[in-house]
Homo-oligomer: A and B are copies of this chain.
Amino acid sequence: MKLSARNVLAGKVVEVVLGTTTAHVRIDIGGGAIVTSSITNEAVADLDLKVGDAVSAIVKSSDVIVGK
């Protein structure tokens, strides 16, 4: 499935932390950059996310703020 989101950044899961309903997943996208995503615990189970998994960090362009 191709996505309209302009940012599909390939990377590797380096950490998964489960909360009561919300989990935090950290993804190494290379170049020294680590991206953090907060998703539902259900999504972690649904995607069977584990450290080492090859994943994409997906972000809509309207959700990116520029700082200068």
Contacts and interface: CB of A to CB of B under 8 A. Distances in A.
Nearest to A27: B66
* Among A49, A54, A63, A67: residue with most chain B CB under 10 A: A67
Given A7-B35, A49-B68, A40 B61 contact: yes
A67 B56 CA distance: 5
Interface in A17-35: 17-25, 27, 29-33, 35
B67 A55 contact: yes
Nearest to A53: B68
A37 B61 contact: yes
Top-6 shortest CB links A-B: A31-B31, A19-B21, A30-B31, A37-B64, A4-B43, A19-B20
